[in-house]
Structure 1
């Protein structure tokens, strides 16, 4: 089981497991290359070990990948990542037809016909491309959220049918299997039509026509038992729909529809005339001669003497007027004649049956292997055994040389009757894809064209003085050449002009104007200029730069500089604030500020001050020069005192403020 986040073939990221079947597990994934969600079927372990099955699986899936139709779940990719074999398919949001029937029970005739037309349309497209599904059933049909029916697993069923699969894996299909499939005979488009008929039966009645204790009994019912009319299960079914289902589910292929196109035509009529009588259902033709079976011959040979005596006694009673001795003689003569007659009939019947078997029962032949042979060689090899070669399709193959047979059905060792058809798929060799012309395109467009051709783009950057950045300059191989799938096309993309590097000068200590000239002389740009106080650098000179002097940078690089504002000297003074409370006040809200050069600094945050807290000792820091101390009591300005800051200290005094001499 693949874990969430696993990257399949470095392209498909596994998101979650969304289903599981007999052959495979199904995951929702995201294609990193095309940025879309997909469904991925991954073969289970028991099938990965079977090289023969894996080969057939890949060939059939690649064949089905050629189908593109709105009623078919499209296959995007078939691949292998180490020992993981997978198929990438269109992700359809919806539920299977099986689940849909389970939810709704019996579908109306109108809905059954509408869905059947969609399913048949997808089948018609496949059949026109010589691809047979071989496992049409509600579980392989998805009903999207928009009520669009899509058939899935085209081509996969054929691979499964030619491999060794346990009964558990095919149990889901036995209820929809055609009689010719049940007996292991030749299957074609009409087998799909029978399975569709059973599927339509289930849509119209809510159940399948045959149930049994095991798979074998259900398969035998398809071979031998008549299907109960849908109207006996659902009296509301339209008569024309019932006629279509009855014709589709005939035991003999000759009595079914000749093609899916004919079926679609009748379904259209049924949609417009539900009770119309237009479906032509042929009956089994009468036969002039009925041949005796081997069992009947055996019964005839085993007639007992007692049976003859009984017959003899019956004859005697018819002649009661003869004498006893005459009766005895007569009985012996008649009995002897009957015995001789029966012996003669047995002998004649024995030879006649053997002659009839020789004439009418086909010879059984073991199918030889023709895989790896040319068409001509395979045809001659099969003709020698009175078998017929039929080329089912021509497909590309990475392993099998062009003109040779990739796979056959039935496979080697299968026992068939003479004149049986052996279907084969012939290799067209390795599929190659034409390299598109991508020069002068933007890289994104060039990449898309290469991917659409099933090739792998690889970007290579080069400097150019003439080609704009991001535009394709060259490509390797050249346009028009042919490559195998996933081979690399190198796309050379312009990276713009090649950069020229210069040395950054050290402009610290230089004036702003000088620093600008030095930087611009080296083809550099001056960016943001900020200011900061500095004790080291005089006012108006550069304190720092974003790139240190001596470093190599690309011409045109932007350098930010910081210019000195000089240094402001601050002086501290300690002051005493005497009691500013009235006699009737125990406390008050006190706030003290320093006002200097238009700036206000709070030196005592507003708080309750009690009489016992006075005098207040406060440290004040200010620039050289004068200032004013403001005192606020209960939110109102109460008093102001001048103060002077200098290296020598301040001499400001008043009734309430005293500057403490630290000297």
Structure 2
């Protein structure tokens, strides 16, 4: 074109807007919000074309703050989750399966339990016929059960068999045997019965094992119980019409005893002879039975005629007035003599006296005043 001016390239170089992205130093500790980055990029392009750099800087500052807050929150969440896991791991106590301790010695069981991190504890010691002395016979937690470390495992240690001495039952009554044996840790065995002349019925006359011998717990003790002497029966002899001494001899010879002897009158049986016996002749009775006898005392005596009872008769006597007192005597007149039935000194001021005289049937009475016959009367008593 004839123009010396250099040709200017119409194409202008336009700088692209720069997007600031926060540094990601630790991916595990920070969380990047992709939406915020996208949004930030859009705004940067808009700012480039609009030419509003001031608005771009304000918005960029806000976005940076949001990203920072998000990162802090993410870090807090991660810290909380980590703390929970750490706390749980701190509280966690491992569980241990409990082994069988039965039949193990105390030392062995203790070591086994403590090696597992558990606590070994002896709760008590008891006698046992199954486990030897010093060995575990019971445990509080069954084999295979799981418990936490330091959990106490209680055991019962055997004291071995209890030493028992068989008590003496001989002479005791059978009703006592059960209690005596139970108290000794033994039990009743077989019981049999036998006659005995030494021990009363119901008493123990023999036992097995014998008294004072060693035994094991719950061993059985058998014993023999007396049923008294052996009973022998004999026939009762006939002692009727025998004199007493002969009858007694016959009774004793037959193994019986003479009991009470009574006497009774009899019209038929002669005096001194046995007229009754308590057991009839030929009856079988237990040996040693007492026999009562009744012996005739002869014919009964004739009864005396009944004696009439005495009667009372009031006898009235008039007293003389010429004397202050008089002596009164009353006599009963009988075939064999006289009997004074009344004799008193009487005051005559009363004028009359009444004297009760006693007698039977009809009697004659004489009344004397100062030794002079005053009256003679016949009295019939009823």
Q: TM-score, normalised by structure 2?
A: 0.48
Of Structure 1 and Structure 2, which has the larger fraction of its residues in helix? 1
- Bigger-Rg structure (1/2): 2
Of Structure 1 and Structure 2, which has the larger fraction of its residues in strand? 2
